[in-house]
Structure 1
Amino acid sequence: MYKLVACDLDETLLSDDTHVSEENRYAIKQLHKKGIKFVLATGRGYRSVQQTLQEIGLANLADEYVISFNGACITENKNNRLIEFSGLELPIAEKLYRIGQKYDVCIHVYTKDVVYVYNMNQDEREYMTGRHEFVEITDKTLEFLDGASIAKVIFGNTDQAYLQTIEAELGTLAQQLDISYSSNRYLEFNQNGINKGYGLMKLAGLLAIDAKETMALGDNYNDLSMIKVAGLGVGMKNTNPGMRAECDFITENDNNHNGVAEALSKFILD
């Protein structure tokens, strides 16, 4: 029996309108009744998922959790109590920020509370609206964040091949980072060794849950680490083609047609 389910948000749990369908909400409610943990595992910050927690009935509850910033942070939902935070050091974030300015990318710098975006364009603004509050900046350095806790940095461009070219040009800096892709538009940088798989196993350990008793659901490369370490790794129908073979199961339905409810019903509720 699975005791802990970790689920990605965008393009997985959420429909394209950024909300949770009635069918998915019902399935999660049934899990909760069984005492099974349903944990959001997201690249976003924990403060940005409060609407989703409200929709699925897990907002501000004790002994319920969120894995955020691609595994850099674990919080308890009650009062957003911080349990774990493993962010980027400012000098590394600064290097990434300066490198990003050489390319045609939007640069996101995630702190615990705020997402700062450099070189925002209209397409990115529309995508972010409803998903994450953000502050547009024009600063050429990150000196203004001295003393702040930086979770991650991401580069945004809808051309995946272009982002892969940037990754290939990072040289030795890449060895200090955990690099992934998400939403078919982001190249993401976390501290080396920090990813959703790390976050899932860390939380499972804190709850004395064996890895075999965990289930992970996602759709893109920043979900792959948790899909691979979980007892059962599930990809949505809309999962990135390049990682489908590494999933234990692919749903028949995508994020807009209750793929999460399908998986929960097949492997737990039925």
Structure 2
Amino acid sequence: MIKLIASDIDETIIDHDRLVPERNKKAIKAAQEKGVIVMLATGRGPYEIFDIPEQAGVIGDDRYVICCNGAVIMNVKTKEIIDVLDMDFTYAKRIFDYAYKNKLTFYIYTLDKKYGINLSDKTIFAEEHINIIEDDNIDFLEGETILKTIIKNSNMNQLQAQEVDIARITDYNLEISYSSNMYMEINAKGVNKAIALKKVADHYNIDLKNIMAIGDNYNDVAMLEEAGVAVAVKNARLQVKQSADYVTQVDNTQGAVGEAIENFVLNL
């Protein structure tokens, strides 16, 4: 019996316009009326979820959202940070230095801000809450809580080849995953959506076998593999589909999350 549903955000519960399809909204509401908890688990920072929880209808007392792939668990209503697993500044600095030297697009997330280098004008215009790093170092961030870093490259072959370098310069001591077919997401060791989801499940005294997880990308795989029911949306990456018990017939733009809830919770 499904007692909790955890859904990824990008390319999963929202469409390309950052909107939650009506089919998802309707199914989420019906599931919650049956007593099922619905929450979001995303790679986004706490300041990047915008109005998506409100759109999805998942804001309430004692409700949470997983951010930065599990580095943060936040109360979705009060915005209180409940749990943090941050990255050692030394590692963040090494990754920044590597990105700076190789002229790579790079992001670093703290608890309240997002910074970047080598961003295109289009990216700067589209990104919200982005701060451009003007200098050749990030020493000004020492002492800050660093949630994750990202290297962006639309050429996935190049990006995955760079993983070897990143792993080496950080002593093979960080978690590396991928999202949106262009982001290498780098977190502290022990950070992934599955571990964070287990913390939330323990809070509610819910067994992982009673959880349905829904996702589309590589940073969702750990969560899907631990959940009792694993759902990949139609537009998911192949590896994600291979980790799933069910692949939706419709994609994220057509209400894939709604389809999953209808099938496994509402029995429609």
TM-score by length of 1: 0.94
Match of 1:162 among 146, 158, 164: 158
Indicate the residue corresponding to 1:196 in structure 2: 193
Identity of aligned residues (%): 36
In 1, the alpha carbon distance for the partners of 2:221 and 2:182 equals 16
In 2, the alpha carbon distance for the partners of 1:17 and 1:196 equals 24
In 2, the alpha carbon distance for the partners of 1:103 and 1:247 equals 36
Residue 184 of structure 1, CA deviation: 0.6
In 2, the alpha carbon distance for the partners of 1:148 and 1:173 equals 19
Secondary structure in 2 matching 1:30: helix
In 1, the alpha carbon distance for the partners of 2:103 and 2:159 equals 10
Letter in 2 for 1:200: L
Secondary structure in 2 matching 1:16: coil
Indicate the residue corresponding to 2:32 in structure 1: 32
> Any idea what the Cα deviations from partners look like across 1:118-164, whole Å, max 9, x if unmatched?
111145346x54xx421222221111112211100000111111111
> Any idea what the Cα deviations from partners look like across 1:195-232, whole Å, max 9, x if unmatched?
11111111111211101011111100001110111111
Indicate the residue corresponding to 2:69 in structure 1: 70
In 2, the alpha carbon distance for the partners of 1:193 and 1:37 equals 25
Indicate the residue corresponding to 1:214 in structure 2: 211
Q: Which moved more, 1:191-200 or 1:116-125?
A: 116-125
Letter in 1 for 2:244: C
> Any idea what the Cα deviations from partners look like across 1:214-257, whole Å, max 9, x if unmatched?
11111000011101111111111111123321211111111111
Indicate the residue corresponding to 1:52 in structure 2: 52
Indicate the residue corresponding to 2:147 in structure 1: 151
In 1, the alpha carbon distance for the partners of 2:88 and 2:187 equals 10
Q: In the alignment, does 2:222 pair up with 1:256?
A: no
Moved over 6 A (4+): none
Indicate the residue corresponding to 2:243 in structure 1: 246
In 2, the alpha carbon distance for the partners of 1:77 and 1:234 equals 23
Q: Is the 8 A contact 1:71 1:196 kept in 2?
A: yes
Match of 1:133 among 124, 129, 133: 129
- Structure 2: gaps spanning 5 or more residues: none
Q: In the alignment, does 2:30 pair up with 1:4?
A: no
Q: Is the 8 A contact 2:94 2:169 kept in 1?
A: no
In 2, the alpha carbon distance for the partners of 1:226 and 1:243 equals 10
Secondary structure in 2 matching 1:78: coil
In 1, the alpha carbon distance for the partners of 2:23 and 2:225 equals 26
In 2, the alpha carbon distance for the partners of 1:244 and 1:24 equals 20
Aligned in 2, Cα 1:35/1:46: closer, same or farther, shift over 3 Å?
Answer: farther
Aligned length: 266
Indicate the residue corresponding to 1:99 in structure 2: 98
Q: In the alignment, does 2:213 pair up with 1:227?
A: no
- Structure 1: gaps spanning 5 or more residues: none
